[in-house]
Structure 1
């Protein structure tokens, strides 16, 4: 009676876990290990059901071989799942060759006069080999995907390995059958729940990585790799905090390239794109890691320079930008002459909001354009051409 209750409870648990794995495996782009583990727990369920179905039969050999054959398939799929989880496909050839050999051996036990104890011993050996391989793969490749749930699965597999060593006691000591199967059910439950948690964790990580990548793309100019205008608005408040530190300034540099349109018109947009990439690299090299470089459209760029000590340092940055952007840009075997007109606004002297500061710097840049291009100008000051 207790024997049937234990296997009924065990079968029910395996069925629920199987359904959970099937549901998770249907999520798009889920690691293929989930499908193999769903199949593994399905065969574990069939193995338990075979014990229930044969409980009233006197053919002990058929019961043993049925249970063993299904159990071997479960453990093989368990190992195949962990190999797939870590992307280790080459090892699966030997795995399935060994599984085929194990199933053929069990068939021989059923059809020939091979002693029943040999079938029991082979079941123990097969399970020890597969569970040991499962735990070994996780330990060996723990650096590839250091998930605590996989460690828990490896520990459960190691404990199941020890538990299978006690399998002969079930036949030498019938009183051990019920607690033995209960312990095995508990360890199997821990093993598969840990694997399910690992799959869910990998899904969560994938979603977070995708979200981070989407945010990264949303905040970057696809051509130059610089930040875009949206990012400037998102980061401005943090930049203001730095500007509010004692004796520090924040400057907005509005940069418009000189002589860029003729390059696009004569050499083509492909060459123009390459020129913009070179310009972006020069802006990066001319600024500090605390500064923010952005392309806001066409040949227009903005730099937010933070942690500046005084107006003289602002001028030094402006002079460096004018010098760097005045150098010829070589694309292929041809050099293109550019230059830049730069308008500068300061926080909080020229405004407290980014939109206002950009408008002030844009107006100053326009005055440089009218004064002959190639230079920089502060808001409300005389043009300084270089």
Structure 2
């Protein structure tokens, strides 16, 4: 492979990654690591470009000096980007101090015309040290990014560290390996920056997934009690029926209206009323099964959807248990508050096959309890006053 092809490939790879990192850094709330990695790529690109332009003049002294000087500058930017990406509390000034020592070595060694191997030792050790430290950080924090991409970063950085340590000695023994060393180094750099770019994109994807999940939660949850809301039931009721029912089983819809809640809210204040509602929600959730759905549909109105019931008597048992919980006094800020509840029940498929029908008929059954003096439960009956034909 010719000299021109090797270095054209090298700085082309760096330029492409520069464009990617600049592009990703413009994403809203992107990790600051992207910007630091873009700067690191700039110095690596400049080092390769100068080597490409100067080396054909057969004067290797300034070419290798320029390459060594700028390739060292890449490393503190690269490591700072990794620290910022992983949000690590480490002293970044040590990166810059190590780079400054390496640069000083380069200037002194080249200005005194030291032997090639001696000139290389100082900055190759620092470059290798940076790579080993990057490998250690990436490996230590590999679980913070899904997909194992930081493991790839660690492996590529470890290989680059060994490459930096061994290359000067190999070249001293076999000068023709100079070109092969650049090819190998370019491939390892390609792997390392590819993994870092993948880490950025995976972190961005995770942020989108989390934001979507949060939005879905806000859309389907009651903000005060944390219970599901009516929109959730309307969206997922048919799916819940498919998963939660078996042949010859029933689903019961319990429409619960709290009795005596308005006086508590009016006399003790909305803050106390909110705490009472939260306790009601907790009791409903703790006394229903994981396959059941608890929802708040109004100020003091709740719906429980009980699934996989064997018969109507089991619906009565659930209503009796819920009523017992709702009539137990609720302590708030040193005081106790007594509630009651009127519970209307409708059964799927006996009283309807859609959620709208079942809620409507459970609501009518609840008002039947209200008319009879509150504090009870009843299953919807077409023969009751105000009921329609089932």
Tell whether 2:41 aligns with 1:41: yes
SS in 1 for 2:226: coil
For residues 20 and 336 of structure 1, the distance between their equivalents in structure 2, rounded to whole angstroms, comes to 62
For residues 139 and 187 of structure 2, the distance between their equivalents in structure 1, rounded to whole angstroms, comes to 22
- Asked whether the 8 Å contact 1:47–1:66 carries over to 2, the reply is yes
For residues 77 and 104 of structure 2, the distance between their equivalents in structure 1, rounded to whole angstroms, comes to 17
Q: Point out the more displaced range, 298-307 or 309-318.
A: 309-318
Deviations 1:257-299 (A, max 9, x none): 0011112222221221111111111111221111110001210
Equivalent position of 1:228 in the other structure:
229
Deviations 1:108-141 (A, max 9, x none): 2244465443221122212211111111111122
For residues 211 and 143 of structure 1, the distance between their equivalents in structure 2, rounded to whole angstroms, comes to 22
- Asked whether the 8 Å contact 1:120–1:168 carries over to 2, the reply is no
Alpha-carbon spacing, 1:242–1:11, altered in 2? closer, same or farther (3 Å):
closer
Tell whether 2:201 aligns with 1:200: yes
For residues 93 and 310 of structure 1, the distance between their equivalents in structure 2, rounded to whole angstroms, comes to 72
SS in 2 for 1:89: coil
- Superposed counterparts of 1:175-190, under 5 Å: 175-190=176-191
- Asked whether the 8 Å contact 1:243–1:347 carries over to 2, the reply is no
The offset of 1:89, in angstroms, is 3.1
For residues 375 and 127 of structure 1, the distance between their equivalents in structure 2, rounded to whole angstroms, comes to 78
Tell whether 2:363 aligns with 1:357: no
The offset of 1:99, in angstroms, is 1.9
The offset of 1:74, in angstroms, is 1.2
SS in 2 for 1:161: helix
Equivalent position of 2:337 in the other structure:
336
Deviations 1:82-110 (A, max 9, x none): 22222213142322222222222223224
- Superposed counterparts of 1:1-386, under 5 Å: 2-56=2-56, 60-112=60-112, 114-164=114-164, 165-242=166-243, 244-380=245-381
- Asked whether the 8 Å contact 1:61–1:116 carries over to 2, the reply is no
For residues 104 and 243 of structure 2, the distance between their equivalents in structure 1, rounded to whole angstroms, comes to 73
Deviations 1:160-194 (A, max 9, x none): 22332123433543322222212221221122112
- Asked whether the 8 Å contact 2:228–2:295 carries over to 1, the reply is yes
Deviations 1:325-367 (A, max 9, x none): 1112221122222111110000000000000000000011011
For residues 8 and 140 of structure 1, the distance between their equivalents in structure 2, rounded to whole angstroms, comes to 35
SS in 2 for 1:256: strand
Alpha-carbon spacing, 1:141–1:306, altered in 2? closer, same or farther (3 Å):
same
For residues 286 and 327 of structure 2, the distance between their equivalents in structure 1, rounded to whole angstroms, comes to 14
In the alignment, structure 1 segments of 5+ residues that lack a partner are: none
SS in 2 for 1:301: strand
Count of paired positions: 383
SS in 1 for 2:176: helix
- Give RMSD over aligned pairs: 2.1
For residues 147 and 95 of structure 1, the distance between their equivalents in structure 2, rounded to whole angstroms, comes to 28
SS in 2 for 1:29: coil
The offset of 1:235, in angstroms, is 2.1
